[in-house]
Structure 1
Amino acid sequence: MVFEGSSAAISHTGKVRSNNQDSGYSGSNLFVVADGMGGHAGGDVASSIAVHRLKDLDHPFPTPTEAEQALQEAIASTATVLIDTVADRPELSGMGTTVSALAFVDDYAVIAHIGDSRIYLFRDEALTQITTDHTFVQRLVDSGRITPEEARYHPRRSVLMRVLGDMDPDPEVDTFIMPTQPGDRWLLCSDGLSGVVDDTHTARTFAQHLPPGRTADLLLKQALDGGAPDNVTVVIVDVGGSHPIFSGTATIVGSASNPQGIDVPAARPGRSSWLHPNRQAANEPTHFEPAPEFLEELIEEDRRRSRRRRVWWIAGLIIVIGALIVSLIGAYSWTQTRYFVGSDADSVVIYRGIQQDLGPISLSTPYEDTGILLANLPFYQRLAVQQTISARSLADAQQIVQTMRATQGSPP
């Protein structure tokens, strides 16, 4: 059965990279995203080889199981090609690529995945990440040590635990089969999209139910608006639904669309110096697969970072609490420079502080019991004292009391 649906593929260099090391493929039954790594030439070559090896599988399969096996074998053979390529071209040493592939057989989606490119499913207005990132930070998330949100900004978020590269002839690839249905929308993307545009905004874009090409353009624009520090590749596939049936030739985007992405000129010998060594900082890979001992070093580094973060958090809390205490002490000290005239049960009292209380804490204390009985004051003075009379200073409070002494016993 030939897959019926509509699709779109788009790839962009981004705003920081000087070249596009991503490759994407949108065919009749097969869809692929590969994110290359390993320098200016290596990443181009690795992702291009992967896409060109896999595109030969773009044909109907009798069963989903046969399609799954074909994907596994094609990806394994791609690893061998990468190893052979590096043997012929040592300057490409260290190159590798992620691969996320999606094939349709009858009512099933067959998925093969290695690396941190992603496959999503949008169904019933909900976006679900189908693949699991093979990254160091994902391992931290799975172990409960950091949250998914913390993983988005972790300094080691680009460290891959699994990748299709020139070192492992037998890569561990996730493959599985799951049912699909009319109305499903599938998204394959490199981390240039998922690392900038979060799932919430992607879901909102999908919820507009625009055709795949228009949706891909909107997602790319969001990635570019977010700075696009890496290459961005998006492949969108609709299963049935209201969009036109896919027809025409397959679409190849990114480095795989350029023949030079596979046949890279040999490195030219050049002169190096301490100021201009024979390498370019911009060509350094953004992803790499750590050796076991380096993984332990990363884990220990993360522990140290967590401890430092905890220490800084505690120190910050102590500083905030200290500043609050100093402020409260300062405020209380200021209240003790203020005075007012009030009363106790039956006499006039000069108080130090202010009339308000802070919960159960009184902000005033009796300073001087004047001995003037409330009963001996005229009614209007007695009422004013009971409501308290503010004074500008101690001398002012004492002057108010002197005035009261002069009026004691006057008729109310």
Structure 2
Amino acid sequence: MVFEGSSAAISHTGKVRSNNQDSGYAGSNLFVVADGMGGHAGGDVASSLAIHRMQPLDHPYTSTEDAQAELQAAATTAAGDLIRAAKDRPELAGLGTTLSAIAMVGEYAVIGHIGDSRIYLYRDDALTQITADHTFVQRLVDSGRITPEEARFHPRRSVLMRVLSDMDADPELDMFVMPTQPGDRWLLCSDGLSGVVDDAHMDKVLRLGMAPGRTADSLLKLALDGGAPDNVTIVIVDVGGQHPLVSGTATIVGSASNPQGVVVPAARPARSSWLHPVRQAANEPTHFEPAAEYLEELIEEDRRRARRRRVGWITGLVVVVALIAAALFGGYNWTQTRYFVGADDDTVVIYRGIQQDIGPISLSSVHEDTGIRLKDLPSFDRSQVQRTITARSLDDAERIVDRLRTSAGDDR
């Protein structure tokens, strides 16, 4: 069964790194992204080996079962290649690569995936992430300990729990089959795109309906505008649709596109950096596969971070509440230095405070009932008292009362 559609592949070093450790492949029936790791040389070699082991799978399939079997077999063979490369060149120890692949079989997409490169499906104006990241932070998300948004900025977001590497001769790929239909657009990418550009902005570009090549260019521009701290590799696959396949020639991008084939360059020994992933040099690996004994330490460190975050929030809240309380207390004390003259039932009263309430809280109280009856005041003075008369001080309030007493004919 031959796949009918169009595709494009693009790979960029990014703005920080000096070499491209990603590889990508877009053929007639097979589409792959691999994100290498292992230092200056190891990442290049790992992703290239994976792509070149996958490349012979680009042919029509009679069944989805055959496609799944070939994807798993090719991944296992690639893992063996990595083991031999590390044995032949000890400085490459620790090399590995993610692998996200789609083999199109008629109306179905057969997917093989390991690592944190991603496969998305854009269908009916909606973008859906199809693969799950094999990362430490994804485990935290799955267990409900952090949110997906927190995972985007977590300091351990680059720690991989599953990957093709020189340490596992039998890699476990996520394998599944999905029906596909004309109009579907598949996006395969390394975390150089998904780690910088969120789903909403990717959706906005895909919604424009441009040809695969222009779409890939637009997504790459978003990653570059976002700083592109890592290599960026993008493969776009359209099923049917308005953009015909220009050529049946496969497109290979990134380190696997080296015309001399898979070359193992002189490599610097990779420094172990799993404790400080955010402080790595630009040419050091971006991904780390911790040994099993490190997992509990990573989890405990995340617990400590969560506790520190809670303590920080509580401390900040206490400080804010204390500042608000101090401001309210200071404001209330200031109001108690103010005075005004007003009426209380049928007499003139000196009030302490201001003529305002905050909900049920009154900001004034009776300082002195003068005993001057309102009915004894001339109508103008009585009207002023009923509206209240502001005083500059207690002495001023007492002078106002003396004047009112004279007006009322009160000789006291």
Shift, 1:407, TM fit: 1.2
Q: Which moved more, 1:360-369 or 1:383-392?
A: 383-392
**Aligned residue in 1 for 2:313:** 313
Shift, 1:359, TM fit: 0.5
1:204 paired to 2:184? no
TM-score (normalizing by structure 2): 0.95
**Aligned residue in 2 for 1:100:** 100
Task: Note the residue ranges of structure 2 that are not aligned, 5 or more in a row.
Answer: 270-279
Aligned-residue sequence identity (percent) comes to: 74
Shift, 1:397, TM fit: 1.4
Per-residue CA deviations over 1:348-389 (Å, capped at 9, x if unaligned) read 111111000010011011111111111111112212211211
Q: How do 1:13-162 and structure 2 match up within 5 A?
A: 13-162=13-162
CA contact (8 A) 1:45 1:261 kept: no
1:249 paired to 2:249? yes
**Aligned residue in 2 for 1:195:** 195
Amino acid at match of 1:192: G
Find the aligned partners of 1:64 and 1:205 in 2 and give their Cα distance.
31
SS at match of 1:60: coil
Amino acid at match of 1:185: R
Per-residue CA deviations over 1:117-167 (Å, capped at 9, x if unaligned) read 000000000100000000000000000001101100100000000010001
1:172 paired to 2:145? no
Find the aligned partners of 2:261 and 2:316 in 1 and give their Cα distance.
51
Find the aligned partners of 2:246 and 2:144 in 1 and give their Cα distance.
42
**Aligned residue in 2 for 1:345:** 345
Per-residue CA deviations over 1:323-362 (Å, capped at 9, x if unaligned) read 1101110110111111111111111111111000010011
CA contact (8 A) 1:28 1:246 kept: no
The number of residues matched between the two structures is 400
Find the aligned partners of 1:43 and 1:282 in 2 and give their Cα distance.
13
Shift, 1:313, TM fit: 0.7
Find the aligned partners of 2:342 and 2:286 in 1 and give their Cα distance.
74
Find the aligned partners of 2:17 and 2:149 in 1 and give their Cα distance.
25
Shift, 1:89, TM fit: 1.0
**Aligned residue in 2 for 1:235:** 235
CA contact (8 A) 1:38 1:92 kept: yes
Find the aligned partners of 1:185 and 1:43 in 2 and give their Cα distance.
29
Q: Which moved more, 1:148-157 or 1:260-269?
A: 260-269
CA contact (8 A) 2:17 2:283 kept: no
Shift, 1:233, TM fit: 0.6
SS at match of 1:8: strand
CA gap 1:260/1:397 in 2 versus in 1, 3 angstroms: farther
Amino acid at match of 1:254: G
Amino acid at match of 1:376: D
Shift, 1:267, TM fit: 4.8
Find the aligned partners of 2:9 and 2:403 in 1 and give their Cα distance.
91
Find the aligned partners of 2:254 and 2:39 in 1 and give their Cα distance.
16
Q: Which moved more, 1:336-345 or 1:392-401?
A: 392-401
Per-residue CA deviations over 1:198-257 (Å, capped at 9, x if unaligned) read 001111111111111111111111111111111111100000011113523111111111
Q: How do 1:248-397 and structure 2 match up within 5 A?
A: 248-259=248-259, 262-267=262-267, 281-397=281-397
Amino acid at match of 1:135: T
SS at match of 1:324: helix
CA contact (8 A) 1:41 1:261 kept: no
Find the aligned partners of 1:346 and 1:136 in 2 and give their Cα distance.
77
CA gap 1:346/1:87 in 2 versus in 1, 3 angstroms: same
CA contact (8 A) 1:183 1:239 kept: yes
Per-residue CA deviations over 1:49-81 (Å, capped at 9, x if unaligned) read 111110111110111110111000000100000
Q: Which moved more, 1:320-329 or 1:393-402?
A: 393-402
Find the aligned partners of 1:378 and 1:254 in 2 and give their Cα distance.
97
SS at match of 2:408: coil
Amino acid at match of 1:56: P
CA contact (8 A) 2:42 2:267 kept: no
Shift, 1:7, TM fit: 0.8
Point out 4+ residue stretches in structure 1 off by more than 2 angstroms.
245-248, 259-262, 264-269, 280-284
